[in-house]
Amino acid sequence: MDAIHLGAPRTPELWTVESVQAVAGKGLEGDRHFHADGAPSGQALTLVAAEVVEEIGLRAGDTRRQVTVRDVDVNALVGKRFRVGEVECFGVELCEPCRHLEEMTRPGIIKELTHRAGINADIVVGGVIRVGDPVVEL
């Protein structure tokens, strides 16, 4: 894994961390998408491929996804269980680009990232996610 990015509610800024606590059914502690009462399906964790981010000329974090991974076909994880380090996840759906992302980056980004903008996942078994952790399909 290349990078972990977290953000605060109602602010555009993201920050990079070396590790984060992933809580089963809730999300990443300290992130804007952490749901203390339980995350709706597919809203606990987002992943994107570093190769796609680089190909379209963005930096890790610019896609607003929490975890940027390398050498992983993230789309292939939809409908499957996988592990990010010690954290067990389930890929729920593709995380398609939106107008908000386009407003924060550049015009045309939706077309560039359609079906390549990463995935939404559930956290099934919590633990710590660290930069450098492998992503392994189970």
Domain containing residue 128: CATH number: 2.40.33.20
Q: What percent of the chain has pLDDT over 90?
A: 52
Question: What does the pLDDT read at residue 64?
Answer: 79
| Position 114 pLDDT exceeds 90 | no
Smallest Cα–Cα separation from 124: which of 87, 93, 94? 87
Using only C-alpha atoms, what is the Rg of the chain? 14
| Position 30 pLDDT exceeds 80 | yes
Give the amino acid at 83.
R
103 pLDDT band, cuts 50/70/90, is confident
Give the residue numbers spanning the domain of 50.
3-137
Domains identified in the chain, total number: 1
Give the amino acid at 92.
V
Could you tell me which residue, 32 or 133, shows the higher pLDDT?
A: 133
Partnered with residue 46 across adjacent β-strands are 120
Determine the Cα–Cα distance for residues 82 and 96; give it in Å rounded to an integer.
Answer: 20
134 pLDDT band, cuts 50/70/90, is very high
Could you give the angle at the alpha carbon of 114 between the alpha carbons of 113 and 119, nearest 5°?
85
| Position 12 pLDDT exceeds 80 | no
Determine the Cα–Cα distance for residues 18 and 7; give it in Å rounded to an integer.
Answer: 14
Determine the Cα–Cα distance for residues 131 and 6; give it in Å rounded to an integer.
Answer: 13
Mean pLDDT within 3-10: 83
Question: What does the pLDDT read at residue 117?
Answer: 86
